[in-house]
Structure 1
Amino acid sequence: MWFAIFIVTIVISIVGAVYLINAVSRFRAFTRFDRKWQQKLNATLVVILAFAGFAAFMGMVNAITILIYVIFFFLISGLIVRIVDKVHGTKSSSVSTGRSKVYLQGWLAIAVSIVYLSGAYYMCHNVWRTDYNLKTDKDIQDLHIALIADSHLGTTFDGEGFAAWLEEIEQASPDMLLIAGDFVDNDSVRADMVRACEALGTLDLRYGVFFVYGNHDKHTFGGRDFTAQDLEDELIKNNVQILEDEILTIDNICIAGRKDYITEPRLDIDDLLQDVSDDKYIIVLDHEPTDYENESTSASDLVVSGHTHGGQLLAIKYVGELTGVNDRTYGYERISDTDFIVTSGISDWALDFKTGTRSEYVMINVN
């Protein structure tokens, strides 16, 4: 599905770029040229240079994202200008400043693009705390769970940045930390991975740290300078419990970790939990929120996931749900006797922008 979205995005970008070049050519800097082809040629060069600059400094994915949003805001501002013209019977695509005319559609689009994308950058690169309060009839003391997912080390912070966010999470005094996959990314580097694992090893938590792999942790298309085995070794060295279709019982709590849905064959949830006593409070870590139907009828009390990044961008926020790829994009839902939580992630994959969502860590209080 995501490959299809990528292809559609490329096609939209190309078609939109043609529209954008025509719109940009109406700025005064280009209309000074007498011939239309000169206006279009210079506008094309400016758009190409701007795109190349963003690609060089922020990567191709971010450059395409910026391009799409700028095109969108040019379209919207053009629509607004047309509506104003129709209502007032005027031609307001340009407004007089006394000495010259200002290209209203263009400057409005540029201003909105800067404000909107700056806000989206801020929402991605900063991390908020999200709290959920849950109830259970099972015999457990008040349980405070910290949840993170999708750190994709190297995207919005390095190993030191991850360690800094862990310090803030530890100050909330959780009993355990759950990591719901995609700890590293295709472009993560070994030094950041090692530093992040070391930071996990310094946490002083009553029950410890529990980890499941996501689709990026073991499988990479890049030239990463460490292997999946290196990652596993560092996690284990720092006392992180890795759960791959495995369960671990502490006091009256059972923590079950599932293998990733996309990358590996895995046990059915009922098979995974078949030997767990019903009086245990059962927490399931499942990187992708794709098995709600089965998990809701199982013995699970709480299922936590990541993967979706909260929808990532406003335009694709609910694509996963509409296409049936994900059962939920973000947030809390209770089905039967099971609580489900999907986090938007503490960071991001490749993109430096989040719209319609924000980066977060989650605190879950169960009593």
Structure 2
Amino acid sequence: MICKLRKRQGLWKRVYRSGLVPIFLTILVLGYGYYCMHDVVKTTYTINTQKNIREEGYRIAFISDLHFRTTMNETTLEQYCREIEMEHPDFVVLCGDIVDEQTNLLDLQKVFQTLSTIQSDYGVFFVYGNHDRASYNPKADFTPEQLTQILEQNGIHILQEENYSITEDFTIIGREDWYTRDSTITAKQLLTNVDTTNFLLLLDHQPRNLSENAAAGYDLQLSGHTHGGQIWPVGLITDLLGFGEMNYGYRKIDNFQVIVSCGLGGWGYPIRTGYHSEYVIIDIQKDPPVS
């Protein structure tokens, strides 16, 4: 018995010294990360409101941080668009970083042409992220002007510090990305000419100034940008050290609610170990009357 135990201990020592253990663990983590990035899931939320919205409520399809084509081509994107379409959204929101510095002009055309085909009652709405205009690459294959032109050609509504009322009781407000917007324009100022009895949906690529947005009177904010940390434990560390206001998921501040998506894709490399890639379906429902 003692002899067998010594042989096993010797075997484990040889395996350990060979360096196979860290190699195996690295392969395991990379494989899991590749799976999480490419296994796109549907995430659902139900938002209740005291606002007097229509009885049937609203359904939103929410996409952010695709970074086309880091993780998928147009054929795969088309498949997800058809999945989203089967959810029968009232409208679609693209909350920034749909493309980035590595996207070429042809892919820029393909991605927005594909996303614009998602059938909905009120169309597709877009706000800029920090990567969409390829600001970090002076040799990018497209210009910000070409991006804007392609969005408009595909009938996608661009919201930059402006609002759009889709019905008499629902208004969408879109912000410029935090890195490039005029810091003197407050969330409250954007509501100057808005009927605040409407349900107020704020689209902002980065989940910042949440307390300010809550105080301004918004009902729901949708954001991306964080990728849920993308590689664990980045998200956990940023939460613990207070580097970001919110990394992923849902939060409620009084009557103000926030949803942050980890994104349909990822930036830089096709691996994520924090959360699965996702598209988000949100149902907004009116609170039942108090009896």
Give the TM-score taking structure 2 as reference length: 0.89
CA distance in 2, matches of 1:300, 1:90: 68
C-alpha displacement of 1:331 = 0.1
Secondary structure at 2:120's aligned position in 1? coil
Are 1:126 and 2:39 an aligned pair? Answer: yes
Note the alpha carbon deviations across 1:174-204, whole angstroms, 9 max, x for none. Answer: 1111111011111101111101111133222
C-alpha displacement of 1:322 = 3.9
5 Å-filtered alignment, 1:169-318, equals: 169-218=84-133, 219-251=135-167, 252-266=169-183, 267-318=185-236
Structure 2 match to 1:53: none
Unaligned stretches of 5+ in structure 1? 1-88
C-alpha displacement of 1:366 = 0.8
Structure 2 match to 1:113: 26
283-292 or 190-199, larger mean C-alpha shift? 190-199
Q: Is the 8 A contact 1:146 1:169 kept in 2?
A: yes
Secondary structure at 1:262's aligned position in 2? coil
Note the alpha carbon deviations across 1:20-48, whole angstroms, 9 max, x for none. Answer: xxxxxxxxxxxxxxxxxxxxxxxxxxxxx
Give the TM-score taking structure 1 as reference length: 0.71
160-169 or 120-129, larger mean C-alpha shift? 160-169
Decide whether aligned partners of structure 1 residues 316 and 264 sit closer, same or farther in structure 2, where only a CA change above 3 A counts.
Answer: same
Decide whether aligned partners of structure 1 residues 115 and 245 sit closer, same or farther in structure 2, where only a CA change above 3 A counts.
Answer: same
5 Å-filtered alignment, 1:31-70, equals: none
Read off the aligned partner of 2:201 and give its amino acid letter.
I
5 Å-filtered alignment, 1:127-146, equals: 127-141=40-54, 142-146=57-61
| Pairs aligned (count) | 275
Note the alpha carbon deviations across 1:254-299, whole angstroms, 9 max, x for none. Answer: 0000011112325210001122222100000010011111011111
Note the alpha carbon deviations across 1:56-106, whole angstroms, 9 max, x for none. Answer: xxxxxxxxxxxxxxxxxxxxxxxxxxxxxxxxx97977417xxxx842363
232-241 or 195-204, larger mean C-alpha shift? 195-204
Secondary structure at 2:11's aligned position in 1? strand
282-291 or 321-330, larger mean C-alpha shift? 321-330
C-alpha displacement of 1:346 = 0.3
Unaligned stretches of 5+ in structure 2? 286-291
Are 1:321 and 2:225 an aligned pair? Answer: no
Q: Is the 8 A contact 1:144 1:176 kept in 2?
A: yes
When the two chains are superposed, the root-mean-square deviation of aligned CA atoms in Å is 2.0
CA distance in 2, matches of 1:231, 1:270: 29
Q: Is the 8 A contact 1:147 1:363 kept in 2?
A: yes
Larger RCO: Structure 1 or Structure 2 (Cα < 8 Å, ≥ 6 residues apart)?
A: 2
Structure 1 match to 2:289: none
C-alpha displacement of 1:232 = 0.8
Q: Structure 1 segments of 4 or more deviating over 3 A?
A: 89-94, 319-325
Q: Is the 8 A contact 2:63 2:263 kept in 1?
A: yes
Read off the aligned partner of 2:69 and give its amino acid letter.
G
Note the alpha carbon deviations across 1:135-184, whole angstroms, 9 max, x for none. Answer: 01222232101101001112111333323321211111111111110111
C-alpha displacement of 1:132 = 0.4
Structure 1 match to 2:248: 330
Decide whether aligned partners of structure 1 residues 245 and 93 sit closer, same or farther in structure 2, where only a CA change above 3 A counts.
Answer: farther
CA distance in 2, matches of 1:315, 1:323: 12
Structure with max Cα Rg? 1
Read off the aligned partner of 1:104 and give its amino acid letter.
Y
Read off the aligned partner of 1:180 and give its amino acid letter.
C
CA distance in 1, matches of 2:268, 2:226: 13
Q: Is the 8 A contact 2:84 2:118 kept in 1?
A: no
Secondary structure at 1:354's aligned position in 2? coil
Are 1:103 and 2:21 an aligned pair? Answer: no
Q: Is the 8 A contact 2:124 2:157 kept in 1?
A: yes
Q: Is the 8 A contact 1:187 1:222 kept in 2?
A: no
Secondary structure at 2:49's aligned position in 1? coil
Q: Is the 8 A contact 1:258 1:284 kept in 2?
A: yes
CA distance in 2, matches of 1:213, 1:345: 14
Decide whether aligned partners of structure 1 residues 352 and 94 sit closer, same or farther in structure 2, where only a CA change above 3 A counts.
Answer: farther
CA distance in 2, matches of 1:111, 1:260: 41
CA distance in 2, matches of 1:158, 1:224: 19
Which of 265, 268, 272 is the matching residue for 1:350? 268
Read off the aligned partner of 1:111 and give its amino acid letter.
F
Structure 2 match to 1:21: none
